[in-house]
Amino acid sequence: MADTGRRQFLKAAALLCLFSGEASAKTNVSLRQTFQYQGMPKDGMSCSSCLEFIAGDKDLGRCRVIPGDDEISPNGYCTKWNSM
């Protein structure tokens, strides 16, 4: 049920960015789908512990295997997770 409020918030935030003309964040939807990116950790693996993750100035960062995407969550996960 908390997801409903969260979805409404995200929709409102997206609309605000759309109409403000100041949205600069980018996502690479195609590669996210290919690598099964999700915004939460899996089995103790998260983007923040992956060698491919590049921390951002704020909460979100980038990933070397998902170029053109600057909205990668440090708590996210994808099938390219790498610890070596």
Is there a domain that residue 74 lies in?
yes
Residue 82 scores a pLDDT above 50: yes
Residue 4 belongs to some domain of the structure: no
Residue 19 token pair: 């109409």
pLDDT at 58: 80
CATH number reported for the structural domain that contains residue 55 in this entry:
4.10.490.10
Looking at residue 50, its amino acid is: C
How much is the pLDDT for 13? 62
How many structural domains does the chain have? 1
How confident is the model at residue 24, as a pLDDT?
64
Helix (H) or strand (E) holding 34: helix 29-34
pTM score: 0.67
Give bridge partners of residue 5 from the DSSP assignment: none
Q: How far apart are CA 22 and CA 3, in angstroms?
A: 26
Does residue 45 fall inside a structural domain?
Answer: yes
Q: How far apart are CA 46 and CA 73, in angstroms?
A: 9
Domain span holding position 61:
24-84
pLDDT tens readout for residues 7-66? 776 666 665 555 554 456 799 999 999 999 999 999 999 999 999 999 998 889 999 999
Q: Residue 47 falls within a domain, yes or no?
A: yes
Identify whether 3 is part of a domain. no
Q: Does some domain include residue 84?
A: yes
Look at residue 45 in the predicted model and tell me its pLDDT. 96
